[in-house]
Structure 1
Amino acid sequence: MVEYNFKKITVVPNGKAFIDIILSRTQRTTPTVVHKGYAISRLRQFYMRKVKYTQSNFHDKLQKIIDDFPRLGDIHPFYGDLLHVLYNKDHYKLALGQVNTAKNLISKISQDYVKLLKYGDSLYRCKSLKVAALGRMCTVIKRIGPSLAYLEQVRQHMARLPSIDPNNRTILICGYPNVGKSSFMNKITRADVDVQSYAFTTKSLFVGHTDYKYLRYQVIDTPGILDRPFEDRNIIEMCSITALAHLRAAILFFLDLSGSCGYSIVQQAALFHSIKELFSNKPLIIVCNKTDLQPLEGLNEGDKKLVMEMKSEASKSQGGEAASADDFLLTMSTLTEEGVMAVKNAACERLLDQRVEKKMKSKKMNDCLNRFHVAMPKPRDQKERPACIPQAVLEAKALEAAQKEGRKTEKDIENENGGAGVYSASLRKHHILANEEWKEDILPEFLDGHNVYDFVDPDILLRLEELEREEGVRQAEAEDGDEDFEMDGEDLTPEEREALQAIKKKKILLIQEHRIKKSTAESRPTVPRKFDKERKFTSERMGRQLSSLGIDPSRAIERARSRSVSRKGRKRERSVDRDGEDGMEIDGGSSNKKLRLRSMSRSRSVSRPFGEVVPGEGFRDSAQKMKAITMARNASKKRNKDARRGEADRVIPTLRPKHLFSGKRSIGKTDRR
């Protein structure tokens, strides 16, 4: 049996990736060092090897692509037409043809340049020929870049196609969109096809599997088909038409009697008559779905007549060879699941009968029957010889039956008490206890070797009520005490009330500002003051705040301004010497005096001594801190030394390892490696 597994097709690289793969492989596999002192024959062989190796890699890669993709003439017609519907077989064949042409061109280029390399007269000439050969090969690959990209898209789509075996037992579901095909498939298989209330939810073929009489059947859910001319149908509808035309399957044509799909029974009957040629020589069943909304008996005369005409057409396509005329028309509802299994069983049975009948009529079957001989024993006298069962076996069977009648099993008890889900078997009935009544007790429960019941107070509920009453009294006292400490505005003076209101307002503003900062991008690090665009922190604002507190702000503002001026003018002062050039004045004392005074006035930060103990570090004094630092350095010294030694350090720890330079070496082996 032929299996089509399109998931095994190798990935098709694009033009640039293709060239990078081949050239890097050539560089890694072939020798890369050549000297101009080599003999000319050696130079020719060096570059001929590179050209031949590159051509061989290109040939193998391209041939692998051609072999992996299926040939439309060699595969099953179903897959051939499906690929034509999805990808257009002309484009498909053209892309593979271009890949094949590129393979042949690269072989021709290699042959031509190898001939030229045989007569190369210098290192430069041979190298130029090699570069030209590889460049022309890469140019050929670049030109087929669009074909490679198209084949990669086809490969990805083919890998997502369902694995349909055209020769297996198949049930095919077809009909108008939104008539319940996918719902029926989800009921009888474990497939999970998307079901929605709008048309064309299913846009491709879906495959599920079901069992009937220990045989596996594949169920194919097809997209909906509309009643319109063949040339107007889109790709989604053509997938269904392809499956109907080429697969030997039992056809289930679904009808929506209620019309909730958006199409009337007249339109559905017209679709049936337009594609009935595809149903010839295949088991066909008309399935009337959604009978919970509209039963078949409640249809008007016109619609019922159309349904009966479809039923007669289905029986004609089979030559009326069904077990009964009702097998061609079945009703069901996927919502209530009424009749779902009957439709499945009827389709499987019809398909099985047809396959068996075809095998019986085939020439191969007649050839096999000629080889069989069924032996029928002839009676040698008039005496009857019935089956003989030993008496011991009969007695054992009778005894076993009597024991079963007198003994109730757990299953019998379960059925008597409501069945599974209602009756729960007791796991304590076989416990051996001193008193049989103890078996059904909720207690005793044992914990750490003690019976829990021994520690249970019989008046525990009364104790609980007392504790709750006591807790309520304490809570009431606590609330009364809290009321005394609450700040009441009535006892405050007008100034204190204003201060309290200001504090509350400030607190609300701080909370709001914090929330805004958390919710926006303002939670990033603080911006330096020179980038403060909003000018939040100014000397005028500081003056207003100090004035509101009753403090004179003049000295603080003056100090801030003097510091900002001194910070601006802190550049290195240079003087002009006697020759007019820019430089430091050497003989004048005024400049040095200025620098000294400015350096004395400037307050610079002094770094903290290394051994000084900072509060919170946990050291008693500086001596203990220095001792801890020294111990940490000594402990990490060996680790740091080992960490620097690795594979990437180009270090040979032992310069002359003994096992490489001692003992005998075999003849001709003088290299230490």
Structure 2
Amino acid sequence: MVQYNFKKITVVPTGTDFIDIILSRTQRQTPTVVHKGYAISRIRQFYMRKVKYTQQNFHDKLSTIIDEFPRLDGIHPFYGDLLHVLYNKDHYKLALGQINTARNLIGKVAKDYVKLLKYGDSLYRCKALKVAALGRMCTVMKRIAPSLAYLEQIRQHMARLPSIDPNTRTILICGYPNVGKSSFINKITRADVDVQPYAFTTKSLFVGHTDYKYLRYQVIDTPGILDRPFEDRNIIEMCSITALAHLRAAVLFFLDISGSCGYSIAQQAALFHSIKSLFMNKPLVIVCNKTDLQPLEGISEEDMKLVMEMKAEAMKTVIGQGGEPTSEEGVLLTMSTLTEEGVSAVKNAACERLLDQRVELKMKSKKINDCLNRFHVAMPKPRDQKERLPCIPQAVLEARAKKAEEAAEKEKRKLERDLENENGGAGVYSADLKKSYILANDEWKQDIMPEILDGHNVYDFIDPDILQRLEELEQDEGLRQEQGADDDLEMDGEEMTPEEQEALAEIRKKKSLLIQQHRIKKSTAESRPTVPRKFDKDRKFTSKRMGRQLSDLGLDPTFAINRARSISRGRKRERSLDRTDDGADAMDVDAAQPNKKLRMRSLSRSRSRSRPPSEVVPGEGFRDSAQKVKALKIAKKSVKKRNKDARRGEADRVIPSLKPKHLFSGKRSIGKTQRR
């Protein structure tokens, strides 16, 4: 579990922002109205509260900064030295010391001015003391503005540091630049470290995680190290030196035997001997990389001698508790990150050696006695002098052998990625998705699957006895032809009477005309205008025609014809109603006064009348007009507030209230522009 999470450190505001935040909070969280008519004790309490509240806010914010930033003396030495390399320990402590000093100064200022405010004799003098107290606090904060800016830069950089747990199982990769360290960590973990063909592509520590024997290991990729004096190394190299010095990990020293990194084997061996003191008491594996360019057996004798010397030194780095060097297994390994040959072997060897060392250290510790006391190993009592070796059942041996064969076959099996590289790469090679189908016959794998039509498989329409049915149909057809049976579905004119022939000819003629008319209408449907009834020259839609059709159906057309005529004359004024009994015009002043009700009726018929809102229309669901009026009132009332709120909003590009009351009421008196 990671013990140090620098990403949770609170943001450090700048000096100006710090002052604005605190003073704005004081203005919002404390009373703002005071009058000179108040008792002097109340006025003193008013301003003392403001000074104390401001000092407390400054104290809380500064204490948060001091507490959240790590103390270099109290954290793991790896992080302590790493922060010292990146930010200079002296500057870091000096900045935090200035923050602490500012916190103490602000506390003293508040204490002094609260003491003076106790003896303030007027509103003016108390306010002046309050302004002076807040001003001195702000002056202190302005003086430490550079320290705040420096700590904010450190906080941002620390948040980008990798989350390294110094106490867990760790594999550390080191060596010259451009020898393949980042390529290796990309192969065995899910880390995505940038890989480029030039030196110092990796400028900081990168962390990935891998699994071995159901245990999680963290793999750290370090920047390249050059063989030069300690004081000449830069910050990038010092990150690697710090990790090697303080992390208890298995070290993989990468050696480029091809020389393509720009450094010879002699130079790399010199680097190994110069930093071998950092490898003491750590499992060390020398990895000869890039064997695809230069095999280990093909290097010169001088280089081979240097490699063997490095191997001998690597065996001496980890001395067992009995004082003997470790075995030669897994000390010198070869691999190629390009072809991935030997990558898993290097990872397994490093994890195995680290695991053995950690178990050995735990076995020698004092805690192991407490753990061993909880175990009891039962041993059978000897019955005779005969030696009985452990018996492993034959089934277990066979299962173990079978599992080993499957593992070997799995390693030899070609992956789709290998087949793709062999057959032209991506875009050229097309994977066969059917080769893993589990079918009764392997020849069926490449069969073309039947298509689907209207939700049915084509195979559903195939009758297994179709050939037999076809033969039966052919025999039946042959018998019908022999008997001279004709198709009864076709009408023959010779079998019909003359009246039926005439009716058939009339039906066919009418059918052809209807088809022809329909085709004409369909072809001219878009460009054909709608003809009003009064311009209907063909008189296709007349009341007489409607009457004939209704009569043919056996219905009386009189009522329908009269109703159509009365509706068609709806907008014409009835002369019988517009004239009086004497024949005089109703609009004539000298004429006799007509019936007022009759006249209003005649005028109202000249135009259509609107339906009142309270009238109930069948199908609306209301019992009577009173219920409809009540429902309309409730609906209008329910949308009133919503319509009022929707008049002006955020999207209307207006300021709803130019002077909000909670910001402008009781804050300042007329003629005063000084707020604090």
Which TM bucket (shorter chain)? 0.5 to 0.7
Relative distance call for 1:22 and 1:447 in structure 2 (3 A) is same
Q: Is the contact between residue 316 and residue 325 of structure 2 (CA under 8 Å) also seen in structure 1?
A: no
Distance in 2 (CA, whole Å) between partners of 1:199 and 1:224 is 8
In the alignment, is residue 21 of structure 1 matched against residue 38 of structure 2?
A: no
| Residue 360 in structure 1 maps to residue 363 in structure 2 | yes
Distance in 2, matches of 1:646 and 1:158, equals 44
Letter in 1 for 2:452: E
CA-to-aligned-CA distance 1:134-154 (integer Å, 9 cap, x gap): 000000000000000000000
User: Partner amino acid for 2:273?
Assistant: H
Q: Give the letter for the 2:319 counterpart.
A: G
The 1:448–1:173 alpha-carbon spacing in structure 2 relative to 1, beyond 3 Å, is closer
1:290/1:125 CA distance change after superposition, 3 Å: same
Whole-Å Cα distance in 2 between the matches of residues 219 and 641 of structure 1? Answer: 64
Residue 426 of structure 1 deviates from its aligned partner by: 6.2
For 1:348, the equivalent position in structure 2 comes to 351
**Aligned counterpart, 1:115:** 115
Shift of 1:373: 3.8
Give how far 1:379 is off. Answer: 6.9
Alpha-carbon distance in 2 for matches of 1:322, 1:342: 22
Counterparts in 2 of 1:91-490, with a 5 A limit? 91-319=91-319, 324-378=327-381, 421=432, 423-424=434-435, 442-443=449-450, 445-447=452-454
Contact 2:2–2:163, Cα closer than 8 Å, also in 1: no
C-alpha distance in structure 1 between counterparts of 2:213 and 2:74, whole Å: 34
**Matches of 2:177 and 2:250 in 1, distance apart?**
19
Does the 8 Å CA contact 2:73/2:80 hold for their aligned counterparts?
yes
Q: Is the 8 A contact 2:2 2:164 kept in 1?
A: no
Q: Structure 1 residue 202: deviation in Å?
A: 0.1
1:285 alignment partner, SS class: strand
In the TM superposition, residue 296 of structure 1 has moved relative to its aligned partner by 0.9
The equivalent of 2:478 in structure 1 is: none
Whether contact under 8 Å (1:444, 1:453) holds in the other structure is no
Residue 447 of structure 1 and its aligned partner are, at CA, apart by: 1.8
CA distance, structure 2, for counterparts of residue 15 and residue 649 of structure 1? 34
Structure 2 counterpart of 1:374, which letter?
V
1:59 Cα offset (Å) = 0.2
The change in CA–CA distance for 1:266 and 1:381 in structure 2 (over 3 A counts) is closer
**Amino acid paired to 2:338:** L
Say if 1:313 and 1:18 are closer, same or farther in 2 by CA, change over 3 A. Answer: same
Alignment of 1:510-589 (within 5 A): none
Using the TM superposition, give the Cα deviation of residue 427 of structure 1 relative to its aligned residue in structure 2, in angstroms.
Answer: 9.3
2:330 alignment partner, SS class: helix
RMSD over aligned Cα, in angstroms? 3.5
The change in CA–CA distance for 1:361 and 1:649 in structure 2 (over 3 A counts) is closer
**Deviation, structure 1 residue 37:** 0.6
Change (3 A) 1:24 1:373: same
Q: CA deviation at 1:423?
A: 4.1
CA separation in 1, counterparts of 2:456 and 2:380?
A: 76
Query: 8 Å contact 2:254–2:289 — kept in the other structure?
Result: yes
Which secondary structure state, in structure 1, belongs to the residue aligned with residue 245 of structure 2?
A: helix
Secondary structure at 1:224's aligned position in 2? coil
Any idea what SS the aligned residue of 1:334 has?
coil
CA deviation map 1:189-248 (0-9, x unaligned): 000000000000000000000000000000000000000000000000000000000000
1:371 Cα deviation after fit:
5.0
Q: Which letter maps to 1:331? A: T
Please give the alpha-carbon distance, in whole angstroms, between the structure 2 residues aligned to 1:166 and 1:236: 19
How far off is 1:377 after superposition? Answer: 5.0
SS in 1 for 2:258: coil
Q: CA deviation at 1:325?
A: 1.4
Does the aligned pair in 2 maintain the 1:428–1:440 contact within 8 Å? Answer: no
Cα 1:224–1:442 change in 2 (3 A) is closer
Answer whether contact 2:451 2:457 (CA < 8 A) is retained: no
TM-score by length of 2: 0.60
Q: 1:42 to 1:334 in 2, by over 3 A?
A: same
Code of the aligned partner of 2:115:
K
2:485 maps to which residue? Answer: none
| 2: CA distance, partners of 1:452 / 1:211 | 51
- The match for 2:571 is none
CA distance in 2, matches of 1:198, 1:289: 16
- Please give the alpha-carbon distance, in whole angstroms, between the structure 2 residues aligned to 1:167 and 1:75: 12
Contact 2:291 2:336 in 1 (8 A): yes
Amino acid at match of 1:325: E
The amino acid of 2:202's aligned partner reads T
Asked if structure 1 preserves the Cα contact closer than 8 Å seen for 2:185 and 2:208, the reply is: yes
Larger Rg: 2
Residue 187 of structure 1 contacts residue 334 of structure 1 at CA under 8 Å; is this kept in 2?
yes
Does structure 2 conserve the Cα–Cα contact (< 8 Å) formed by 1:445 and 1:453? no
Query: How many Å apart are 1:366 and its aligned residue?
Result: 2.4
Q: Distance in 2 between matches of 1:313 and 1:99?
A: 50
**What SS does the aligned partner of 1:178 have?**
coil
Which runs of 5 or more structure 1 residues have no equivalent in the other structure? Answer: 386-396, 402-414, 431-436, 455-634, 651-673
Could you give the per-residue CA deviations for residues 266-299 of structure 1, whole angstroms, max 9, x where no partner exists?
1000000000000000000110001111111111
State the alpha-carbon separation in 2 of the partners of residues 323 and 288 from structure 1: 20
Q: Which residue of 2 aligns with 1:584?
A: none
Q: Deviations over 1:320-347 (max 9, x none)?
A: 8677414211011111111110000000
Does the aligned pair in 1 maintain the 2:188–2:210 contact within 8 Å?
Answer: yes
Q: Provide the C-alpha distance between the structure 1 equivalents of 2:223 and 2:56, rounded to a whole number of angstroms.
A: 46
Q: Closer, same or farther in 2 for the Cα pair 1:241/1:425, shift >3 Å? A: closer
What is the CA-CA distance between 1:316 and the residue it aligns to? 1.4
Equivalent residues of 1:443, 1:453 under 8 A apart: no
- The code of the aligned residue for 2:68 comes to D
Shift of 1:446: 1.6
* Inter-CA distance 32–312: structure 2 relative to 1 (3 Å threshold): same
Asked if structure 2 preserves the Cα contact closer than 8 Å seen for 1:189 and 1:208, the reply is yes
Deviation at 1:17, TM superposition (A): 0.3
Classify 1:441/1:129 alpha carbon distance in 2 versus 1 (closer, same or farther; 3 Å): closer
* Distance in 1 between residues matched to 2:163 and 2:294, nearest whole Å: 37
Q: State the Cα deviation string for residues 149-192 of structure 1 (Å, max 9, x = none).
A: 00000000000000000000000000000000000110000000
Q: Distance in 2 between matches of 1:140 and 1:444?
A: 83
> Residues 285-320 of structure 1: CA distance to partner in whole angstroms, max 9, x if unpaired?
110001111111111111110000000011111238
Matched to 2:331, the amino acid is: F
- 1:73-92 Cα distance to aligned partner (Å, 9 max, x none): 10000000000000000000
**Amino acid paired to 2:351:** C
* Contact 1:12–1:152 (8 Å) recurs in 2: yes
Q: For residues 484-514 of structure 1, what are the alpha-carbon distances to aligned partners after superposition, in whole Å with 9 as ceiling and x for unaligned?
A: xxxxxxxxxxxxxxxxxxxxxxxxxxxxxxx
State the distance in 2 between where 1:131 and 1:300 align: 83
Query: Closer, same or farther in 2 for the Cα pair 1:424/1:146, shift >3 Å?
Result: same
Instruction: Report Cα offsets for 1:12-45 as digits up to 9, x if no partner.
Output: 0000000011001000100001111100000000
Amino acid at match of 1:71: R
Distance in 2 between the 1:13 and 1:54 partners?
17
